[in-house]
Homo-oligomer: A and B are copies of this chain.
Amino acid sequence: MNDAFIHSEDDFLALINRYFPNEHKELSIARGDDCAVFACPPSLCVTTDLFVEDVHFRTSYFAPADIGHKALAVNVSDLAAMGAVPLGFSLALVAPRGVPVSFWEPFLQGMAHLAATHDLVLTGGDLSDGDKITVGITVWGAPGQRVLARGRTRIGDVLFVIGRVGMARVGLGVLEAGQDLDAFPACIRQHVHPEPLVEQGRLLAALPGVRGAMDISDGLEQDVPRLLAPGQGATMFMDPSVIHPEVTMYCARHHLNQARFCLRGGEDYALLGAVEPEYFEIVRERIPEAWKLGIVTANGFSLDGTGIRLQGFDHFSHEQP
């Protein structure tokens, strides 16, 4: 079976059924009909992300289980960033004919494991032939105590980050170069297997004074301006103690400015948030991974005391990955 190929949609659906339970207490019509039907809360958070071969990942250095995991993780991270609790998802999968069952089994297992961790039910989707593995996922969830949106910051708010930055960028650099793999295990893991910070997002939505949050998918340089209300700026500091030793080592070896490097690193799926200054200590107490990035200002950006122009990553304007 393992070296075989998928011969029919029914074969593939049977494979999916092996890894994903097709019942859930909220689900009145499950996979296999025109639509799924499920009970839902009074309001719903919905997000969609693509994960495309040779754009977002390469099969040469991504294990199939990590591809399945990350395709779902980047979606769940968007829910986490709103403070929402994930409920269900649908899967649009371009599965090229030449990809064997031995790929799809761990792929589905990796995705199913993350789904089970968060009690997420796969309600359905669609399969197609095509040239490149393309995973389109739409995930929905219930808002937490508050919805952590963008664009609601005020001057003087504390900007903070939950999690690390720069690690996934190191992981990508090392994997693309194909050298020194043994020296950067944590960074490689962060690139191929990011964990969405669902519990931290949920906690954040319940804490006082929190103005909003988002996940850092494109790097702080691009994402900080997106969190801020229009026209605002930020004074930022990249405390060396929050930078992972592997990132420090990578930047030293390549003669890179570590703080700038971390500002540009995307795909860590850390959370970026803003909180009224008098409540920042509560955030830090309740969520130990939180660290202070800086302060919202009237305009302009600075990093470690030097003015900077912010620009970020864009899937259209840069070569990828």
Contacts and interface: CB of A to CB of B under 8 A. Distances in A.
Contacts of A92: 48-50, 92, 136-138
Given A129-B55, A315-B128, A134 B94 contact: yes
Nearest to A56: B128
A134 B33 CA distance: 23
A44 B10 CA distance: 26
A297 B7 CA distance: 30
Interface stretch (A74-82, A180-188, A248-256): A74-82
A131 B29 CA distance: 35
A93 B94 CA distance: 13
Chain copies in the assembly? 2
A55 B128 contact: yes
Contacts of A36: 45-47
A8 interface: yes
Interface string A132-161: 101011101101000101110000000000
Interface in A1-26: 6-12
Contact of A43 (B37, B132, B136, B149): B37
Nearest to A131: B131
Contacts of A32: 150
Contacts of A39: 42-43
Interface residues of A, number: 71
Contacts of A126: 48-50, 136
A28 interface: yes
B33 A214 contact: yes
A28 B43 CA distance: 9
Contacts of A43: 28, 37-40
A64 B170 CA distance: 40
Q: Which among A34, A141, A317 has the greatest number of chain B C-beta atoms within 10 A? A: A34
A313 to B, nearest CB: 9
A295 to B, nearest CB: 23
A134 to B, nearest CB: 6
A130 interface: yes
A180 B38 CA distance: 47
Given A12-B316, A52-B128, 18 more contacts: A29-B149, A34-B47, A34-B150, A34-B214, A35-B78, A35-B81, A38-B46, A40-B43, A46-B123, A46-B124, A48-B92, A50-B126, A90-B138, A94-B134, A127-B315, A129-B316, A129-B320, A131-B131
8 contacts: A28-B43, A33-B151, A34-B150, A55-B129, A55-B130, A127-B316, A128-B315, A134-B136
